Amino acid sequence: MNGTLPRIVLAAQPSAGFDYELIVAPANVNIVPGGSTPALSFNGGYPSPVIRAKQHQPVRIRVVNQLNEPTTIHWHGMRIPIGMDGVPFLSQTPIMPGEAFDYEFTPPDAGTFWYHPHMNSVEQLGKGLVGALIVEEAEKPDFDEDLVLCMKNWHINDDGSFTALTTPQNAFRMGTPGRVMTINGQTSPTYEVPAGGAIRVRFLNVDNTVVYMVNSTDPDAQIIAIDGNPIAQAVTLKQHPMAPGMRLDLGVIAPSKVGETITFKHKNNPLVTLTTVASHLENRSLPKLPLNPIPAPDLDNAETVKFAFEWNANITPIKKDGKVSYNFWAMNRRSWEGMSKGHIPAPLATLERGKTYIFELSNLTQYHHPIHIHGHTFTVLHSNKKDIIPFHSDTVLLGKNEIVTAALVADNPGRWMYHCHIIEHLKTGFMSYIEVT
């Protein structure tokens, strides 16, 4: 990395030659009946536009900031160059009000990903700046329906006005819960699917806080991909935890009779229902997804790096303006100091490019923490709490007192954000970065 940040361009310039343009601006949206919510939006509404890219083909996206504050866009789960990662000051200068930024990258991996700002995250994500990024396989599998389902628990009252997005009492626990659980901005929606069809169901947890426990009324529903990465052998869905930032692709064969249903739930709460409509499909089977080209870790020559995630019990400091500076969480006894132009703290760890590392992730708290790394993909190897068949993931969910080992090949140079994806934890200490030299 040479320290040069990508250029900012003015929003007034023409947008010809771009695959997508995202206008970031306030907008009133309808989430609850009869109520209007003063949200922040991409292109004037919610759900946000689904961006569809193609594996191994470049995609160009112009982001225009019409907020009254800076923003950036991070492409969650993507192994792309550092200059396109969307972290303010670390990888790009913030997109100021009235400016635009051109993102261009070539996805090496196919699957289910998403996009969101990495500035003022509690508010910008909490008020609606979240969207799905689907990278289609170089050779597209033959599904009869492909559903993209963004899970978001809105912090709103019955009239649509916002409740508190965060409170200190909740930030040092599991985060502040919302009141209205939605799929694509609707409460328990129903989608029509062809009877007897092979259906791909993509769940994306774009919430700030909630850990969903996904299950299905279909006993034959199959897990086919985790966090955008196909698994070598499909696994029958029983109940799968999905923390903020995580994705889950399921495959189902729809019932053959018209009017029959499959319901997916969070615990016992219905999330979304599929209902069958007439089709001529018969004897369908689930297509097999091609594996992504994740570099294989060299475990025999790997170096182990230990990370302890724990509660910060220090006395909460008071800033010069008299306001409380809440820092509840620490990684290796260090709470994130924040960063700004000209002030980038030291990395939490420095990795040698091309070398394999085993991250030992130790959760020393009583709460769940989804640990997300930018620009790389983990190969999750082992847990002291549950049996694991190794799989690829960019967001590793750690349970209470759980220790997970996960390997990665440090093949992408740059300064990569590394944090808990419960947004209130991120904002109160659980964030740092890894430098690959």
Secondary structure class of 217 (helix, strand, coil): coil
Per-residue confidence at 218, pLDDT binned at 50, 70, 90? Answer: very high
Give the model's pLDDT for residue 34. Answer: 87
Tell me the CATH architecture of domain 9-136: Sandwich (2.60)
Q: What is the pLDDT of residue 270?
A: 98
For the stretch 270-327, pLDDT in tens is 999 999 999 999 999 999 999 999 999 999 999 999 999 998 765 566 666 766 667 7
pLDDT at 341 over 60: yes
* pLDDT confidence bin for 181, thresholds 50/70/90: very high
Averaged pLDDT score across all residues of the chain: 93
Region of residue 279 (phi > 0: left; psi between -120 and 50: alpha; otherwise: beta):
beta
Model pLDDT for residues 50-104, shown as the tens digit of each residue: 999 999 999 999 999 999 999 999 999 999 999 999 999 999 999 999 999 999 9
Phi, psi angles (nearest 5°) of residue 178: -85, 180
Cα separation, 15 vs 133, in Å, equals 20
Whether the predicted pLDDT of 401 surpasses 90: yes
SS (H, E, C) 69-127: CCECCEEECCCCCHHHCCCECCCECCECCCEEEEEEECCCCCEEEEEECCCCHHHHHHC
Residue scoring higher pLDDT (427 or 295): 295
AA letter at 225: A
pLDDT digits (tens, 9 = 90+) for 149-166: 999 999 999 999 999 999
Q: pLDDT class for 15, splitting at 50, 70, 90? A: low
CA–CA separation, 221 and 251 (whole Å): 6
Which pLDDT value is given to residue 27? Answer: 98
pLDDT score at 303: 98
What are the pLDDT digits (tens) for 259-275? 999 999 999 999 999 99
Q: Does the pLDDT of residue 135 top 80, yes or no? A: yes
Place 7 in a pLDDT band, splitting at 50, 70 and 90: very low
Comparing C-alpha atoms, which of 338, 21, 48, 54 is closest to residue 182? 48
Sign of the alpha-carbon dihedral angle for 407, 412, 417, 420? negative
| Confidence band, pLDDT 50/70/90 cuts, at residue 9 | very low
Q: Where are the domains of the chain?
A: 9-136, 145-277, 299-436
Which pLDDT score is estimated for 337? Answer: 86
pLDDT at 311: 84
* CATH number attached to the domain at 145-277: 2.60.40.420
Tell me which amino acid residue 33 is: P
Asked if 336 and 431 count as a contact pair (C-beta separation under 8 A), the reply is yes
The sign of the torsion formed by the CA atoms of 96, 97, 99, 104 equals positive
324 vs 174, higher pLDDT: 174
Residue-wise pLDDT tens digits, 245-259: 999 999 999 999 999
Q: How confident is the model at residue 10 (pLDDT cuts 50, 70, 90)?
A: very low
Q: What is the largest CA-CA distance in the chain?
A: 70
> Looking at residue 324, what is its pLDDT?
63
State mean pLDDT over 5-26. Answer: 67
Q: What is the pLDDT of residue 325?
A: 64
Judge whether residue 14 has pLDDT over 50. no
Question: Looking at domain 299-436, what is its CATH homologous superfamily?
Answer: Cupredoxins -  blue copper proteins (2.60.40.420)
Are residues 368 and 246 in contact, defined by beta-carbon separation less than 8 angstroms?
A: no
Q: Judge if 9-136 and 145-277 fold alike in CATH terms.
A: yes
Specify the pTM: 0.94
Say which residues have a Cβ less than 8 Å from residue 54's Cβ, sequence separation at least 6: 107, 135, 136, 138
**Residue 8 — very low, low, confident or very high, per pLDDT cuts 50/70/90?**
very low
Mean pLDDT to the nearest integer, 13-39: 89
Instruction: Say how many residues make up the chain.
Output: 437
pLDDT score, position 399: 97
- Written in H, E and C, the secondary structure of 284-344 is CCCCCCCCCCCCCCCHHHCEEEEEEEEECCCCCCECCCCCECCCCEEECCECCCCCECCEC
DSSP label of 401: T
Q: Which residues contact 98 (CB under 8 A, 6 or more apart)?
A: 10, 11, 65, 66
